[in-house]
Amino acid sequence: MDIRQLRYFVTVADEGQITRAAKKLNMAQPPLSHQLKLIEEQLGTTLFFRNSRSVELTEAGWLLYQRAVSILHQMDDTVIEVKETGDGIRGQLSIGTARTCAVIYLPERIETFRNNYPLVTFRVLDGHPFQVLKFLEERLVELAIVRFVSDLHLDYESRTLQVEPYVLFIPSKWEWDPSKVSICMKDLEDIPLVMIVRENKYGKYNAFHDICIKQGIKTNVVCESHDSAIIFSFVAAGLGATVMPRSTLSIHQVDVNQLDVKIIEIEDCPLSNKTSLIWDKKRPLSKIAQRFIELF
C-alpha cells in the first residue's frame, strides 16, 4: 500500500461514494474500485460496507482512515518544509478570519509581507468564529484570527492581539443626556436593543445576552441579525441601541459621527472581547506562517 492508494482511500471515505470520489480524483470509477479492492486484499479485511449508492467505513476502515489522514498530513507538511529549505520562502499562506478581524489586522501586514517575500500569495477564508475554528481543524487554513469573549478556552497555540470592552452604541438622534457617558448593566432594561446573533453547532448565541440572563437583566430585544453592518444601520436609523466590542465599528471604515452613532461605556460589564492569532500546536508551521506571525 502506497501514498497514492491512501489518498484514493481517504477521498472515497470523505465523499461517501466511489463515483464522486473518482470525479474528484479525475479518474474513472473502475480503476478506483480496483485500487480499493487491492488495499482490502493486502490488509485481509473489509474496509467499506457497500450498497448501490454509497459506501460506509467498517470498524477496520475507520481505523485505517484515522491513520491515513495523519500520514497524508505529515507527508504534505514534509513536502512544504523540504521545498522551503531548497527554494526559500515561496508558496501560499491560507488564513481564516472573521470579516471584522480581516479589515483591522490583515491589509497592511499582507502588504508588508509581500514587499519582503514577493513569491508568497495569500488565501483568506472568512466566517463566524466557530466556522473559522472549523477551517483550522480541517486544515483548510494554517493560521486564524478569531474574536471570542476572553474566558473561552481554546486548545491552540495563540498570540493575543487585543483585549477590549463591550460598549453600548446608541443612535445620535436619541435624546440622551450628554453628561451621561456611561451606564450600568441594569440600565439596559430600559433601552430597546438590536442584537447581533451567531450560530454554532448548539444553536444561536450572543455572549452579552447570555450574561444578561445570568444576572437577571431583562433585555428588550426588538431585532436580531447575523450581520454587524445591518445592526449598525438599524442603530443609526434609531431602531435601537446595540452592545458589541468597541472595534466592531472599524469594519465600516468610518467614524462614529458619520454613522450617527454614539458610544456609551458600560461600567460593570464583566465581558471583554479577546482577539487572538491562533494555530494548531500539533501541526508544524511552514516558514511562511512563522514569518507572518512575526508581524504581530
pLDDT in tens, 227-272: 888 898 899 999 999 998 887 776 654 454 566 889 999 999 988 8
Q: What is the mean pLDDT of residues 109-114?
A: 95
Nearest of 100, 127, 101, 122 to residue 111 by alpha carbon = 122
Does pLDDT of 202 surpass 60?
no
Q: Going by C-beta distance under 8 Å and a sequence separation of 6 or more, which residues neighbour residue 150?
A: 163, 271, 272, 273, 274
The helix (run of H) or strand (run of E) holding residue 14 is helix 3-15
Mean pLDDT of the 32-52 span: 89
* Beta-bridge partner residues of 258: none
pTM over 0.95: no
Check residue 257 and give its pLDDT. 52
Q: What angle do CA 261, 262, 267 make, to 5 degrees?
A: 140
Provide the pLDDT for residue 266.
Answer: 95
- Do the Cβ atoms of 248 and 98 come closer than 8 Å? no
For the chain, the first-to-last Cα distance in angstroms comes to: 43
**87-102 pLDDT, tens digit each:** 567 889 999 998 888 9
Q: What is the average pLDDT value for the chain, to the nearest integer?
A: 86
Does the pLDDT of residue 199 top 70, yes or no?
no
Q: What is the pLDDT of residue 52?
A: 77
Q: Quick check: 294 pLDDT over 90? A: yes
63-72, 148-157, 222-231: least confidently modelled range: 148-157
Q: What is the pLDDT of residue 152?
A: 55
Q: Give me the pLDDT at residue 253, please.
A: 47
pLDDT, tens digit, 9 for 90 and up, residues 113-153? 999 899 899 999 998 888 899 999 888 999 999 987 655 55
* Cell triple for 108: 497592511
Share of the chain above pLDDT 70, in %: 89
Domains, the chain, in order of start with CATH, read 3-78 (1.10.10.10), 87-161+275-293 (3.40.190.10), 164-271 (3.40.190.10)
**Distances from the Cα of 149 to the Cα of 95, 121, 153, 158, 169, angstroms:** 21, 31, 10, 15, 18
